[in-house]
Structure 1
Amino acid sequence: MKHIIIGTAGHVDHGKTLLIKTLTGVETDRLKEEKERGISIELGFAQLKLPSGKQAGIVDVPGHERFIKNMLAGVGGIDLVLLIIAADEGVMPQTREHVDIIQLLQVKKGIVVITKADLVDDEWLEMVKEEVRDFIKGTVLAEAPLMAVSSTTGQGISELLAVIDKTVEDTEERTSTGKLRLPVDRVFSVTGFGTVVTGTLLSGRIIVGDAVEVMPQGNVYRVRSIQVHGKKVEQARAGQRTAVNLSGLEVHEVTRGSVVVAPKSVEPSYRMDVKFLLLEGTEKPLKNRARVRMYLGTDEILGRIRLLDRDELEPGQEVYAQLELEDEAIAGKGDRFVIRSYSPMRTIGGGTVIDANASKHKRFRPEVLEAIATKEMGEPDELVEQLLSAKQVLFTLEELALALNLPEEDIQQGTEKLLVEGNIKIIPTDKKDLYVSGYVYHQWGQEVKNMAEVYHQEHPLREGYPREELRSRKFSQINTKNFQYLLQAMESDGYIKLFEKTLSSSSFQGDLSDKYQRTVDSLLKSLRDGSLQPPSWTEIAKGHRLKESEAQEYLQYLLRKGLVVKLVDEELYLASHSFEQARTKIVNFLKENKEISVGQTRDLLNTSRKYALPLLETFDRERLTRRVGDNRVLI
């Protein structure tokens, strides 16, 4: 079944609430103050059953200028608007402001309803109709049906219902395939159940048992139950008025303006790239960095508007701009917003979000404006390429879709086109492939190769550049696991060679210069000459006049190359040749004698106890021998 939300708009006391009661039987004014004053202050909600059997949700918004903030919280989620104009008063100030808001939010489907038709004669009613037709020319409601009704006498009500039915049929419903987004317009507590949040589900769907995140607060809760039009359901989908009971949520932890989303699916932002229109009827130009009120979804956020190509914006002009907000906002590409002046509060403009998480731009830069234009109008492949070039990080397909607020199928097609053109690099993983700009990837590969070559020159005795040191210096924005996949791709493409914990340039052979080779040979000779009781490494280093740091570099080189073996004792090292000779002698002895003591080992190897015991313990560690009492046996 199609799910459409109908919203009212119009001046205070023009009969919006009474019309809704006549259509639905529901009194949407629920507050004591509303009933006493006879005006709507808060949003009201009702369900409308149409002649065809279809159902629609209705949001009744306040008409008084003091409650425009509340009106904006309700109108952002509507699909079809009923613009209410009283026959006895005609077009009034809030009528004009509400139509400006409808225009800015691009609510393309609407019906103009002239109420209180019973209070005027036919001639006056025709005059009001003519005024209204002139008023809506050039707006999104220019082609909207115009109906005259009386909620008191029932005049025109059945005809209005038929027109609403037909318009609902022609109205496109919201998609349920996108990411879950439920802007909160009301919060209350139900005894025995806990906190309930309500709103119009803008996209996606929500299911009982789901984990959801309340943003921008960032807390995760479980969906305990869902109601749509007062009935318990297992799931709700885009376009439905929805009440959600969240387990563990306290009333003070969420406010109107919060957004219920899937966990980790959106990032709050303080800065957005937008296309902004200053209304033609605005009294004066808008200066750069003017403080304004942004209305987005159900939220009101203070901020400043940065004009990127001028210092002042004239009424009627449309520009690319940045909104710098004082609080975090949740938005996606294509979201519509309204701007009101900070003081006095008047609707002055609005527009479309282009980049919900923008970087700060320098003003008066043609390339900045071109980049924003590409974000606004570009094809998926252009948008993907631009994002990857700008962010210079690794993205999964899902993350690209999230960042660009586009369906994954569109992103997939875009990446395939970029792959054919050689403008994107795919990094394979054991789960989801990673994507990076082709240019950025090859630039990284060359830079890593160059860094490795410099490292080889500075540390000729080392195997290569430590991987983690490279990540922390150059790729700290990439997590450790994805960094390893990136290095594997670079090795496959011939930039580098990988070792267990290090990497080298692909051309590095590990050959030492004559100077270093002579020192290595001399150090090794000192160990070999000592056979199975050589001097300590500290003594050998002093004999070669090596600094402590130099001695360690040479020692690590000899160990890595397998030319030297470290015994269990921290200070004792043997030339590998001598160590293998000792192994052979001990194995042969044990084959004939079954076991060997430390003293027998000392005599057999013609060494001292200082070396004999660490040698046996080293063979134990290698699982060649096993200690039994004070002796060793073969394993």
Structure 2
Amino acid sequence: MAHVVIGTAGHIDHGKTALVKALTGTDTDRLAEEQARGMTIDLGFAFLNDNVTIIDVPGHEKFIRNMVAGVSTIHMAMLVVAADDGIMSQTREHLQILKLLNIPQCVVAITKTDLAEDEEWLDLVELDIRELTDGIFKSVDVIRTSVNTGVGIAELKNLLEQKAVTIQQSTDRGFFRLQVDRVFSMAGFGTVTTGTVISGDLKKGSTVDVLPGNIKAKVRGIQSHGLDVQSVQQGDRAAVNLSGVDKEKVFRGSELALPGKLKSIKKFTAHIQLASEMKKELKHHQRVRVHLGTAEVLARVHLSGKKKLPAGSKANVNLDLEKSTVAASGDRFVLRTYSPMTTIGGGTVLTTFIPKGVKVSSWVSALEVDPVQRFRQLVDSLSTQPHTISAWALLNQCTDEKVHKWITKLDLLTTEKGIVFTHKMLDESKKIIVSTLNTFHQRKPLRRSMGVDILQQESRLSTIWLEEVVAMMKKEGIVKFVESGLALTSHKVELVGSTAELSRKMENNLTEVGLTPVTTAELSQKFNENDKRVLEVLHVLKGDKKVSEIENGTWMHNENIAKLRQALINHFNQNNEMGVTDFKNITALTRKFAIPMLEYCDKQGWTDRSGNQRSKGDNL
């Protein structure tokens, strides 16, 4: 069977620690202060059997933070109520916390029955317990016990073991997570962290992320239930010996995770449920304590479109944290007031991601609690920047397989590269591309195409999405690739009027100058035109394969380039090498033009340079 963790709950002095000792033989009050004061302050741990761990939590209201850290990863609660006191204030608050954390099962132990006045009193205590727990758990078993007389101890242990066998583990995220509840160092071993594996598995020798802090650490060794093991899995209590991280860098509230799966955050969106017992309304921007996993973090609550939330209400909110922590979609947490510290509610993390450009208050309010429908909202919110399946898995802190299931349920579409999209997103992106290209063609009618990089900037579509949509549009005959850019299939460059006349004059001039390259500026000056118009005409001539750009801003007619190539062929038919002087004699160019033309020949593969000499190139 999978390992099961049981957490105690109940008022101070109701006998939780004594009961755990009677069940397991272990005194969980490990601190000297605890033993001196006779009061549990921090978490204690004991083994009921090889597969069941009991976490003993403090009952005093001052140590509720430790109690929440202890029960945040349990599978079942053991509520302890003393027969002589009955239900007390911390009994109620602990029950409230168990409800907020969605702990499914509970066994109630009425302790100190030897101090009860009579059976009728015990019946009343049990009745009160059943009324208080009604609606919180699927079922509640009540066992009457006494550690002094031994009454009910064996029966309680047997019941806990039976319940543990039936426990259903929560859904596994598919990657390793352990929320740290204790850190210590051992001579010769270094840093040791303990906690419950809440998803995935971990093997000795693996590397983990220690968060927050983004520290990489190596797993030197693992213990579970006091034994050295090679691996642990979901539900296991584990002590993980780490190398590569100092003890001071890890603390209760840290998390160990498979590298790259989780990130440190300072803000998340959540759905909260306020307790009906709240005495004051929750105000916008109110400072609260967030108990998330084993961490306690101070935060500000940002209500969406409201100034206050009354007791018992539900709402989506943003929580701005005062320090970094770790959270994943679906994680549950408890909310407590800053001062005085009382439990006011709890909630579920919806997302740690807010898309750019959305109106935050409207976005947060509309966010779905159901993870499948929420995924659809997230996909729709990124209509021009759709993500891949893997990227969505990282943003939702889940596996690619989980995202695939959501895609199937929602009838979403994916590209060959794994981009998730909808028909509406595709149609909108096509319209954006057509509009952007059309505007470009109207603005620059002599340009055959628009650079893809410029199209990406102006359309604001992500690079990978643009590539996918353009490929679809090309198959549909909407766009075409021209030279190194993109154009609408319907776009044609036509030279008319004065522009056609300028093109004829420029082409004639480039033909007449022979092998001497001409700059854009020289052509502009010769024909008394601005550089922009001359350059546009040159690009049209280039597209018609009449001219070529030798280097940036320097041009030559292709007929003359063909003559140059033939001259080189003739030279190398009779010679093995060619120097600069030879090239000047062949072309009648001055050194000013000969050097750049030689470099052009090198680039074309017509010549192969070695020092000051050139030989015949592979492309000649």
Structure 1 match to 2:375: 384
Q: Of 599, 604, 611, which aligns to 1:622? A: 604
- The 1-side partners of 2:139 and 2:518 are apart by 99
Structure 2 match to 1:497: 480
Aligned residues, how many? Answer: 614
Aligned-residue offset at 1:606: 6.7
Structure 2 match to 1:21: 21
Deviations 1:526-579 (A, max 9, x none): 1112233576654332111123444444445544553224557x7864311122
Contact 1:175 1:238 in 2 (8 A): no
Q: Of 522, 528, 535, which aligns to 1:545? A: 528
Aligned-residue offset at 1:40: 0.7
Q: TM-score, normalising length from structure 1?
A: 0.87
Aligned-residue offset at 1:81: 0.6
The answer to whether residue 583 in structure 2 is matched with residue 583 in structure 1 is: no
- The 2-side partners of 1:353 and 1:605 are apart by 75
The answer to whether residue 91 in structure 2 is matched with residue 91 in structure 1 is: no
- The 2-side partners of 1:342 and 1:628 are apart by 77
Contact 1:532 1:611 in 2 (8 A): no
Q: How does 1:111-130 map to 2 (within 5 A)?
A: 111-123=107-119, 126-130=122-126
Percent identical pairs in the alignment equals: 34
Q: Of 220, 228, 231, which aligns to 1:232? A: 228
Structure 2 match to 1:32: 32
- The 2-side partners of 1:444 and 1:484 are apart by 11
SS of alignment partner, residue 89 of structure 1: coil
Q: Give the residue type in structure 1 aligned to 2:380.
A: S
Q: Give the residue type in structure 2 aligned to 1:387.
A: L
- The 2-side partners of 1:385 and 1:405 are apart by 16
Q: Give the residue type in structure 1 aligned to 2:416.
A: P
Q: Give the residue type in structure 1 aligned to 2:415.
A: I
Q: Of 333, 351, 354, which aligns to 1:355? A: 351
Q: Give the residue type in structure 2 aligned to 1:411.
A: V
- The 1-side partners of 2:285 and 2:582 are apart by 89
Deviations 1:182-202 (A, max 9, x none): 111112222222212211111
SS of alignment partner, residue 290 of structure 2: strand
Aligned-residue offset at 1:144: 0.9
Alpha carbons of structure 1 residues 59 and 573: separation in structure 2 relative to 1, 3 Å: same
Structure 2 match to 1:523: 506
Q: How does 1:202-241 map to 2 (within 5 A)?
A: 202-241=198-237
- The 1-side partners of 2:375 and 2:341 are apart by 39
Structure 2 match to 1:447: 432
Contact 1:216 1:258 in 2 (8 A): yes
SS of alignment partner, residue 40 of structure 1: coil
Alpha carbons of structure 1 residues 578 and 413: separation in structure 2 relative to 1, 3 Å: same
Alpha carbons of structure 1 residues 75 and 598: separation in structure 2 relative to 1, 3 Å: closer
Structure 1 match to 2:277: 281
- The 1-side partners of 2:603 and 2:225 are apart by 72
Q: How does 1:430-509 map to 2 (within 5 A)?
A: 433-475=418-460, 478=462, 484-485=467-468, 487-498=470-481, 501-509=484-492
Deviations 1:365-387 (A, max 9, x none): 6x864x32xx2236x3x443321
SS of alignment partner, residue 145 of structure 1: strand
Alpha carbons of structure 1 residues 79 and 461: separation in structure 2 relative to 1, 3 Å: same
- The 1-side partners of 2:590 and 2:302 are apart by 81
Alpha carbons of structure 1 residues 620 and 494: separation in structure 2 relative to 1, 3 Å: closer
Deviations 1:260-290 (A, max 9, x none): 2222223444444433222222223333433
Structure 1 match to 2:197: 201
Q: Of 408, 416, 440, which aligns to 1:428? A: 416
- The 2-side partners of 1:455 and 1:323 are apart by 44
Q: TM-score, normalising length from structure 2?
A: 0.89
- The 1-side partners of 2:88 and 2:124 are apart by 12
Alpha carbons of structure 1 residues 277 and 565: separation in structure 2 relative to 1, 3 Å: closer
- The 1-side partners of 2:216 and 2:416 are apart by 31
Aligned-residue offset at 1:616: 5.4
Alpha carbons of structure 1 residues 206 and 514: separation in structure 2 relative to 1, 3 Å: farther
Q: Of 255, 262, 278, which aligns to 1:259? A: 255
Structure 2 match to 1:79: 75
Alpha carbons of structure 1 residues 46 and 631: separation in structure 2 relative to 1, 3 Å: closer
Aligned-residue offset at 1:38: 0.7
Alpha carbons of structure 1 residues 247 and 464: separation in structure 2 relative to 1, 3 Å: farther
- The 1-side partners of 2:615 and 2:352 are apart by 71
- The 1-side partners of 2:401 and 2:613 are apart by 70
Alpha carbons of structure 1 residues 82 and 329: separation in structure 2 relative to 1, 3 Å: same
Alpha carbons of structure 1 residues 501 and 248: separation in structure 2 relative to 1, 3 Å: farther
Q: Give the residue type in structure 2 aligned to 1:103.
A: K
Aligned-residue offset at 1:21: 1.4
Q: Give the residue type in structure 1 aligned to 2:545.
A: G
Deviations 1:597-619 (A, max 9, x none): 76776666677676667655644
Deviations 1:438-466 (A, max 9, x none): 32232122212211222223233434333
Structure 1 match to 2:292: 296
Contact 1:449 1:504 in 2 (8 A): no
Alpha carbons of structure 1 residues 326 and 177: separation in structure 2 relative to 1, 3 Å: closer
Q: Give the residue type in structure 2 aligned to 1:503.
A: L
Alpha carbons of structure 1 residues 282 and 625: separation in structure 2 relative to 1, 3 Å: closer
- Mean Cα deviation higher: 160-169 or 213-222: 213-222
Structure 2 match to 1:398: 390
Alpha carbons of structure 1 residues 594 and 267: separation in structure 2 relative to 1, 3 Å: closer
SS of alignment partner, residue 540 of structure 1: helix
- The 2-side partners of 1:592 and 1:325 are apart by 80
Aligned-residue offset at 1:148: 1.2
Aligned-residue offset at 1:588: 3.7
- The 2-side partners of 1:300 and 1:288 are apart by 20
Contact 2:172 2:234 in 1 (8 A): yes
Contact 1:3 1:173 in 2 (8 A): no
Alpha carbons of structure 1 residues 616 and 114: separation in structure 2 relative to 1, 3 Å: closer
- Mean Cα deviation higher: 610-619 or 128-137: 610-619
- Mean Cα deviation higher: 123-132 or 622-631: 622-631
Contact 2:437 2:455 in 1 (8 A): no
Aligned-residue offset at 1:91: 1.3
Contact 1:397 1:411 in 2 (8 A): yes
Contact 1:184 1:298 in 2 (8 A): yes
Deviations 1:452-493 (A, max 9, x none): 2222232334343333334345548x4x56654454344345
Contact 1:427 1:486 in 2 (8 A): no
Contact 2:317 2:364 in 1 (8 A): no
Q: Which runs of 5+ in 1 are unaligned?
A: none
Aligned-residue offset at 1:36: 0.7
User: Superposition RMSD on alpha carbons, in Å?
Assistant: 3.2
Alpha carbons of structure 1 residues 538 and 48: separation in structure 2 relative to 1, 3 Å: same
Q: Give the residue type in structure 1 aligned to 2:414.
A: I
Alpha carbons of structure 1 residues 6 and 576: separation in structure 2 relative to 1, 3 Å: same
- Mean Cα deviation higher: 326-335 or 254-263: 326-335
- The 2-side partners of 1:310 and 1:597 are apart by 82
Alpha carbons of structure 1 residues 253 and 503: separation in structure 2 relative to 1, 3 Å: farther
- Mean Cα deviation higher: 251-260 or 173-182: 173-182
Aligned-residue offset at 1:60: 0.6
